[in-house]
């Protein structure tokens, strides 16, 4: 293209044709970016983001419901554990009353039998308490593992997952 000697082209030509800074490269880049945006919009990229957002919302709502259910179950178990002391006290009181009635019926010669029954009742109470505590610990551990698993699944992003997979492959001697 030939332009007049003192026109705008003559003033801007050294800058427009500067090596590595040619204007046509920026023009081509602009056309490419616009075409890319049109193609992405045409093939539903916004819908993909909306779907992902809805999936995340559903997962968060479900996790909240599961958390609330687990907390309710935990409160129920804690209430049962709180009642356990009352039940133990009631059992102790009952066994004392039975022992007193037995003493009155049999007389003073059966004091050794009464002591044996008291010890047996105490062992049963301790065993029942141990069994209840063991069941409570097992249930609490299971719920803790479930909650931790849910938290990890909720917190891990796809790019974290891909990163972990890549590291594991590299540790096994594979190539990424």
- Mind giving me the DSSP string for 27-91? HHHHHHHHHHHHHHHHTTHHHHHHHHHHHHHHHHHHHHHHHHHHHHHHHHHHHHHHHHHHHHHHH
In the chain, domain spans:
18-150
State pLDDT tens for residues 37-67: 888 788 777 787 788 889 999 999 999 999 9
% of residues, the chain, pLDDT over 70: 85
Do 64 and 147 contact (CB within 8 A), yes or no?
no
Looking at residues 68-90, what average pLDDT do you find? Answer: 85
Q: What are phi and psi of 111, to 5 degrees?
A: -60, -35
Q: What are phi and psi of 91, to 5 degrees?
A: -65, -40
Look up tokens 């983001």; give the residue.
Answer: 49
Looking at residues 121-143, what average pLDDT do you find? Answer: 91
User: What is the distance between the alpha carbons of residues 98 and 88, in angstroms, rounded to a whole number?
Assistant: 15
Residues near 146 by Cβ (< 8 Å), separated by ≥ 6? 66, 70
pLDDT at 1: 47
pTM (two decimals): 0.31
pLDDT at 88: 80
């Amino acid at each position: 293209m030939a332009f007049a000697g003192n026109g705008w082209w003559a003033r801007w030509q050294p800058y427009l044709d500067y090596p590595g800074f040619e204007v046509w490269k920026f023009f081509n880049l602009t056309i490419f970016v616009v075409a890319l945006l049109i193609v992405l919009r045409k093939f539903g990229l916004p819908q993909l983001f909306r779907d992902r957002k809805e999936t995340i919302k559903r997962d968060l709502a479900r996790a909240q419901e599961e958390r609330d259910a687990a907390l309710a179950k935990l409160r129920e178990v804690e209430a049962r554990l709180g009642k356990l002391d009352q039940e133990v006290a009631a059992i102790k009181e009952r066994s004392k009353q039975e022992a007193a009635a037995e003493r009155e019926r049999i007389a003073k010669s059966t004091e050794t039998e009464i002591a044996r029954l008291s010890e047996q009742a105490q062992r049963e109470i301790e065993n029942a308490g141990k069994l209840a505590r063991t069941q409570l610990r097992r249930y609490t551990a299971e719920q803790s593992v479930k909650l931790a698993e849910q938290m990890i699944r909720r917190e891990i992003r796809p790019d974290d997952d891909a990163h972990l997979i890549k590291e594991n492959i590299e540790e096994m001697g594979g190539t990424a």
